[in-house]
Amino acid sequence: MQYTQPVKEENHPFLQLLILGVSAFIGLIIFVIIGFVLCLAIYGLDLIRNMDWMTGKDLKNIGALKILVTAQQIGLFLVPAIVLSIFEGKAPQHFYGMKAPKLNLLLMVFLIMLCSTPLMRLINEWNMQMHLPEFLSGLEKWMRKLEDDGMVTTKAILAGSSIGALIINLLVIAVTPAICEEIIFRGGLQRTFLRWIKNPHIAIWTSAIIFSTIHFQFFGFFPRLFLGAAFGYIYFWTGSLWYAAFAHFLNNGYAVTVAWYMQRNNLPIDKADDMNMAWYGYLISAILTLALFWILKEKTNPKKEVPL
């Protein structure tokens, strides 16, 4: 007689979240140390004497910042997701649902990201103009300072008009976050919340809130929140993490490419988001985006595809 080995039941979602949190803390420390040592080996001890490179104020050693950012992404996001899958005794590609994507669905995701661009810019503009009540003016000033400091760092990382700079920035800002952040926020957190709460909408939006909050860019919170939710629904409906990662790559890659184009043509990066569009243009963007999401949902079957 042949006996079928029973499938091991996964651990409680609370324990899975605990594993993710502890692994993220330890992974961040280890990989930041590895990244810093690598930076010292490449750029020398000047990095210690002048730490301006960590905030983007020293463009000469901006490569060190890119190394450290990549190390942080791997340690904080990729490592805990892999640790959780190992703890559950499954390969990451099976645990998180990473089957090969289909061309027609990739095209659908591309159209969603393309059509949603004007709408996301409008939401970003509204978010940037947000003001807190007067009694929270001190908090708003602190938030604005964080935003301004973050913009200085972002501009420094995006600096460069050569083809080589474009490729490196795409790897650092588009490829790495698309993989690392999607595997933890959609694959790790959303999947775990869904097992616990059993409500896909709550799981998706909870993960999206955490995704937006952890970036500590308060005046970009809402566009990032909606992006996170969009990635979450794409993952839930398609059952493959690659579609969400592709959408994430398109979003970040577009920003990198536009910044590169602006610099290559001696145009200020600050003007990259300027868009003069009539109100009905944003309405069309919203309608097309929702319609494409509906079509994507109809083309997929989450009950069969999403790993639980």
* Model pLDDT for residues 176-227, shown as the tens digit of each residue: 999 999 999 999 999 999 999 999 999 999 999 999 999 878 888 999 999 9
The region of weakest confidence among 43-57, 176-190, 235-249 is 43-57
Distance CA(50)–CA(60), nearest Å, equals: 11
Determine the pLDDT at residue 303.
Answer: 53
Determine the pLDDT at residue 306.
Answer: 47
Distance CA(234)–CA(190), nearest Å, equals: 12
Distance CA(172)–CA(166), nearest Å, equals: 10
Determine the pLDDT at residue 149.
Answer: 80
The region of weakest confidence among 38-42, 72-76, 156-160 is 156-160
Comparing C-alpha atoms, which of 298, 291, 259 is closest to residue 105?
298
Q: Which residues contact 264 (CB under 8 A, 6 or more apart)?
A: 161
- The percentage of residues in the chain with a pLDDT greater than 90, rounded to a whole number, is 62
Query: Measured on CA atoms in the order 14, 305, 301, 108, is the torsion positive or negative?
Result: positive
Q: Which amino acid is at 182?
A: E
Q: Considering the entire predicted model, what is its pTM?
A: 0.91
- In this structure, the dihedral spanned by the alpha carbons of residues 247, 71, 160 and 57, taken in order and rounded to 10 degrees, is 120
For the chain, report the end-to-end CA distance as a whole number of angstroms.
30
Residue 95 burial (10 A CB sphere; 0-12, 13-18, 19+): buried
Comparing C-alpha atoms, which of 244, 214, 246 is closest to residue 229?
244
Determine the pLDDT at residue 224.
Answer: 94
Averaged confidence pLDDT in the chain: 89
Whether the Cβ atoms of residue 241 and residue 235 lie closer than 8 Å to each other: yes
* Model pLDDT for residues 254-276, shown as the tens digit of each residue: 999 999 999 988 887 766 666 67
Determine the pLDDT at residue 218.
Answer: 83
Tokens 């809130």 locate to 209
Asked if pLDDT for residue 5 goes beyond 80, the answer is no
The region of weakest confidence among 41-45, 47-51, 252-256, 293-297 is 47-51
Whether the Cβ atoms of residue 181 and residue 79 lie closer than 8 Å to each other: no
Whether the Cβ atoms of residue 225 and residue 213 lie closer than 8 Å to each other: no
Determine the pLDDT at residue 179.
Answer: 96
Determine the pLDDT at residue 106.
Answer: 96
Structure tokens, 158: 């995006």
